[in-house]
Amino acid sequence: MTVEAGERAARAERVRAVASGLRDQRGALLPILHAVQAEFGHIDQADLPVLADVLNLSVAEVHGVVTFYSDFRNTSPGRVHLRICRAEACQAVGAEALAEHASAGLGVGFGETTADGAVTLDQVFCLGNCALGPTVQVGERLHGRVNPARLDAILAEAAR
The candidate with the shortest Cα–Cα distance to 147, out of 97, 107, 80, is 97
Closest contact distance (angstroms) between CB of 146 and ligand FES is 11
Q: Is 93 in the site for ligand FES (CB under 6 A)?
A: no
Contact pattern from residue 130 through residue 149 relative to ligand FES, giving x for each residue in contact according to CB under 6 A and a dash for the rest: x--x-x--------------
Residue type present at position 67: T
Closest contact distance (angstroms) between CB of 126 and ligand FES is 4
Closest contact distance (angstroms) between CB of 88 and ligand FES is 6
Residue 46 · residue 9 · CB < 8 Å: no
Radius of gyration of the chain (CA): 18
Q: Phi, psi at residue 45, to the nearest 5°?
A: -55, -40
Q: Which stretch binds ligand FES (CB under 6 A): 2-10, 23-31, 85-93, 114-122?
A: 85-93
Q: Is 37 in the site for ligand FES (CB under 6 A)?
A: no
The candidate with the shortest Cα–Cα distance to 43, out of 20, 21, 17, 12, is 12
Residue ranges for the binding site?
A: 85, 90, 126, 130
Closest contact distance (angstroms) between CB of 141 and ligand FES is 14
Query: What is the rounded CA–CA span in Å between residue 65 and residue 67?
Result: 5
Query: What is the rounded CA–CA span in Å between residue 72 and residue 64?
Result: 11
Contact pattern from residue 111 through residue 130 relative to ligand FES, giving x for each residue in contact according to CB under 6 A and a dash for the rest: ---------------xxxxx
List interacting residues with ligand FES (CB under 6 A): 85, 87-90, 126-130, 133, 135
